[in-house]
Amino acid sequence: MKKIALFRVWDTHPIDKSIVQVIEKHFPEYVLEVFTLMDFLRARKILLFLNIFAVIRYYGFRILRGELGFRESFLRTPYIFKKINAYAKFIPKKNGPYAFSLQLQSLFDTASSTTPHFIYTDHTHLENLNYPGFTQQELFASAWIDCEQQIYANANHIFTRSTNISRSLIEQYACPVEKISCVYGGSNIPLDEKRVIEQRVFSKHILFAGIDWERKGGPDLLAAFKLVLHKHPDARLTLVGAQPEITHPKIRVVGRVQPSEMPDYYRAADIFCVPTKQEPFGAVFIEALAYQLPIIATQIGAIPDFVIPDENGYLVAPGDVHALASALSDLLDNPKQCARFGKAGYRLAQDRYNWDQVGFRIRRQILATLTAE
């Protein structure tokens, strides 16, 4: 039987598990073999040790100045990039031929000259330059960006989760248009259809979900919510994921929860708001769409793909607290509009942002590419 090699960086992210299930379901005539790159690295202590010197070489002064973190820099050196590439090239020699390989994300190059290779990613590094306030000086080492360019050059086809990443590949990495397909992504939490379609009892309940409080725009939401309370003193705000030190009678700080617990929070809310300042994709927005929540978010990254102003939510400029407060007040004033936005978002999730549709698009393109080879 024909085989597929799937390379992922981690095995703990919900997206990794979702994609494994998608590939198994939509390529039933193939045997799927999954390779977790962090397992490869953890088993090679000497490689990790030697990479410390590469981190110091490329990022040492920036880490000392507090401009970069050691952890984020560690996986972005040409040294470790080349070691991963050599490992990936060895896999077909060791395990026999594969019909094709698929890698998740664009952190390493797992292409082999003997195997058709595909990528599914939600980011490029140069896309960061399109975020407000991000400068050229904040990019990782140019030698690593050259490595990233190699990732895309060696792929037979690249699947993206959003149109802004497709544009980045074309405009910032000179990838041919025909080499890129935006196939979107799906929800990584359980979807209880009965609970999704239940009628909500409107209670002016706003939900925020995100681990990185600062990057996700948490302080902006907090400032906007305090403004909203002047007009809507009965409004409530629940914060899931992040754990800022906030003591307020109308704000509940939940902290981290298991993915399986998230449906309860989506169902209990009336409005979903994450005014993020930087976002590769934002799976929580897709989850909120699937649970019929109107969304207020920022006009950056992938978000304009799935938050359509005046149809399923509102978009504001990052950092604009007054615009954020106005959007929240508008929805708090209009329960019927919340319901209308929620239904429109649900339809979008059903039509575009579900894993069955993603799997269908990936299979169609991969088979077409293999046939053309």
For residue 102, give both structure tokens.
């698929």
For tokens 């960061």, what's the residue? 128
Residue 153 in 3-state DSSP? helix
Residue 277 and residue 131: Cα distance in Å, rounded?
8
Q: At CA 242, angle to CA 307 and CA 255, rounded to 5?
A: 115
Q: State phi, psi for 213 to the nearest 5 degrees.
A: -55, -45
> In one letter, which amino acid is 164?
N
Three-class SS string for 202-268? Answer: CCCEEEEEECCCCCCCHHHHHHHHHHHHHHCCCCEEEEEECCCCCCECCEEEEECCCHHHHHHHHHH
Tell me what pLDDT residue 191 has: 73
- Burial profile 211-229: b = 16 or more Cβ within 10 angstroms, e = fewer: eebeebbbebbbebbebbb
Q: What is the pLDDT along the chain (373 residues), one digit of tens a residue?
A: 799 999 999 988 888 889 999 999 999 999 999 999 999 999 999 999 999 999 999 999 999 999 999 999 999 999 999 999 999 999 998 998 999 999 999 999 999 989 999 999 999 999 999 998 899 999 999 999 999 999 999 999 999 999 999 999 999 999 999 999 999 999 887 776 666 666 778 999 999 999 999 999 999 999 999 999 999 999 999 999 999 999 999 999 999 999 889 999 999 999 999 999 988 888 899 999 999 999 999 999 999 999 999 999 999 999 999 999 999 999 999 999 999 999 999 999 999 999 999 999 999 999 999 998 6
Residue 325 and residue 303: Cα distance in Å, rounded?
19
Tell me what pLDDT residue 162 has: 96
Tell me the C-alpha to C-alpha distance, in Å, between residue 311 and each of 44, 225, 294, 337, 343.
51, 23, 9, 9, 9
Residue 7 and residue 125: Cα distance in Å, rounded?
19
Q: What are the strands, taking DSSP E only, across 65-186?
A: 100-104, 117-121, 157-160, 180-182
The rounded radius of gyration (Å) of the Cα atoms in the chain is: 22
Listed in sequence order, the residues at least 6 apart from 348 whose beta carbon sits closer than 8 Å to its beta carbon are: 289, 306, 308, 312
Residue 367 and residue 373: Cα distance in Å, rounded?
10
For residue 94, give both structure tokens.
């060791």
192: number of CA atoms within 13 Å, CB side? 11
For residue 143, give both structure tokens.
């030698």
> In one letter, which amino acid is 151?
I
Tell me what pLDDT residue 96 has: 87
Q: Whole-prediction pTM value?
A: 0.92
The structural domains of the chain, ordered by start, are 3-186+354-372 (3.40.50.2000), 193-351 (3.40.50.2000)
